Structure 1
């Protein structure tokens, strides 16, 4: 995705994507997502992200297409820094993050639950606020 950057977020293990000139973000394209699944993704991404349609270029063919992506909602967030590293996340945080998403899925299935994904994350990760994550 051209003109974008994937930032680290202080106190979080997941990234924030924002528009940045002369930068690019690579990732996976997931096809065939249903409207119901998109609602679940919107709920998971919660208030921290806004879903946007963006033009992307496929790496293997250079074909251009429209895709939905989640962009960080606060472009002036003072907690954004550097560049988020997927390989580091995979080594250090993937297992815990997947456990947190299972908790979110269970909460999502509870009809009377109003706990958001951000609240689920914050209750699951009890990190030191002075950490540079």
Structure 2
């Protein structure tokens, strides 16, 4: 199960709408071992494509250096699908290299860049096997 604040949900959806018709992508980092997404890090889709995303190699290096400096790890890796359902493609599955991450997909196929419904789903992807998980939205994390 992924527990996510409403604010982080809104930031992911806003990023997906802003980058539509290209896929949006990014990471939400959290303290190592916590499974708690906290720091929203929108990334540039270096491919600038409506059908796939690619993190820029220099941005990815900076991301990992920043997380290392803060004792963080990628808790959520997200991207959008602009014309298809919010389900990992074969390419998405092949690129899933973080065994502990939640892979969030947002489909903007129905509403595009405008206000309107989106599909928001989370998956665990391990050794090529995709398992959908429940997403629970909270106002804030309990301490």
TM-score (norm 1): 0.26
More strand by share: 2
Which structure is richer in relative contact order (CA contacts within 8 A, separation 6 or more)? 1
More helix by share: 1
TM-score (norm 2): 0.25
Higher Cα Rg: structure 1 or 2?
A: 1
